[in-house]
Structure 1
Amino acid sequence: MSKAKLTRDTWVVVTDSEKALFLRNLTDHADPNLEIIGSETQDNPSDQAQSANRPGRKQDTGPGQKSAMEDTDWHQLAKERFAADLSDILYKKAYAGEFDRVVLVASPEVLGNLRQDMHKEVLARVVAEVPKTLTNHTVRDIEKLVKQELDAA
């Protein structure tokens, strides 16, 4: 990707695997001013809280031997589904013409999951990716950190 700037109306989507914050730049790259325009969250309890049973067991080749079977990690599965859900949300908003440019801010793992699920309509509007987890930062901190990352790219 070429060197991206935070132009007026560029969206910045800050996400992890359980929540996303949608921001819009009201000014320019020299002095970004991000406004919150929406958010998405997912209720994702720990895997232990979501699991109903003990892991299953299967017969081994030896007499009277059994092996435990790996149980589904529901917590991890929900995290991966959140990226797919977020990709769908971004597609609907792009298709509706709500944004022309977007900067994605997420951990490398979440960026990979998003990229995998993202529609070409949205991918064409991604001007930059910032591989950092900033979901627990203030909007002012996000403005500074995203600008620094884009300047350094």
Structure 2
Amino acid sequence: MALLAKGVWALVADGERALFLENEGTPDKPRLALRRKLESAGADMELADKPGRMQDTGRQQLSAMELTDHDRIARDRFAQSVAETLNGMVAKKGIERLVIVAPPQTLSGLRDGVSDATRAVILAEIDKDLIHHPLDKVGKLIAQDIEKV
């Protein structure tokens, strides 16, 4: 059975956007239709203007503390949100076959958030950032890469 057959869903995501796509074409000529789109609200946290300082055990010594990466936190939260949405779609819409395409960091966050039921329907995971490509090209790129997995 071809992995990108008709009816197979693809989640194409990065740290800011997620596209839920369904293949309406054939494995040779995929035609991905957009079923749902999510976008991150971004880093809406209050930001500090400079790194903090911490009192060392020595006399009058201060050590600098690393700045919090608010963008990274926002991307991780978005990946968790996408995973929760995906879990709901698998449960309610009956998605039976799924391919996930995302950069490695986003893919890691998605793996951490998906349920066992969702994990059971995942056919392949492709670590690429295809979110900025047109849908027709995304389908072709997934079809090429999925055979290598």
TM-score (norm 1): 0.88
What SS does the aligned partner of 1:39 have? strand
The CA deviation at 1:38 is 1.2
1:112 aligns with 2:134: no
How far the C-alpha of 1:43 sits from its partner, in A, is 2.5
Aligned to 2:20, what secondary structure does the other structure show?
Answer: strand
Q: Residues of 2 paired with 1:59 and 1:90: CA distance?
A: 45
Aligned residues: 149
Residue 124 of structure 1 aligns to a residue whose secondary structure is helix
Q: Which amino acid aligns with 2:42?
A: N
Per-residue deviation at 1:109?
2.0
Question: Deviations 1:29-70 (Å, cap 9, x if unpaired)?
Answer: 121111111110102249xx8513432212223332211222
* Secondary structure of the corresponding residue to residue 36 of structure 2: strand
Q: Is the 8 A contact 2:43 2:74 kept in 1?
A: no
Q: Which residue of 65, 68, 75 corresponds with 1:72?
A: 68
Segments of structure 1 that go 5 or more residues without pairing to the other structure are none
1:54 matched to 2:38? The reply is no
Give the corresponding residue for 2:92: 96
Q: State which of 128, 132, 135 in structure 2 corresponds to 1:139.
A: 135
2:78 counterpart letter in structure 1: F
> Who is 1:27 aligned against?
25
SS at match of 2:93: coil
**TM-score (norm: length of structure 2):** 0.90
The two structures, once aligned, show a CA RMSD in angstroms of: 1.9
The residue aligned with 1:36 is 34
Q: Shift of residue 115 of structure 1?
A: 0.9
- How far off its partner does 1:5 sit? 1.4
Partner of 1:10: 8
Report % sequence identity: 34
AA in 2 matched with 1:17:
G
The worse-fitting range, judged by mean Cα deviation, of 66-75 and 77-86 is 66-75
Q: Give the match's secondary structure for 2:147.
A: helix
Q: In 2, are the aligned partners of 1:26 and 1:33 still within 8 Å (CA)?
A: yes
> For residues 108 and 55 of structure 2, what CA distance do their matches in structure 1 show?
38
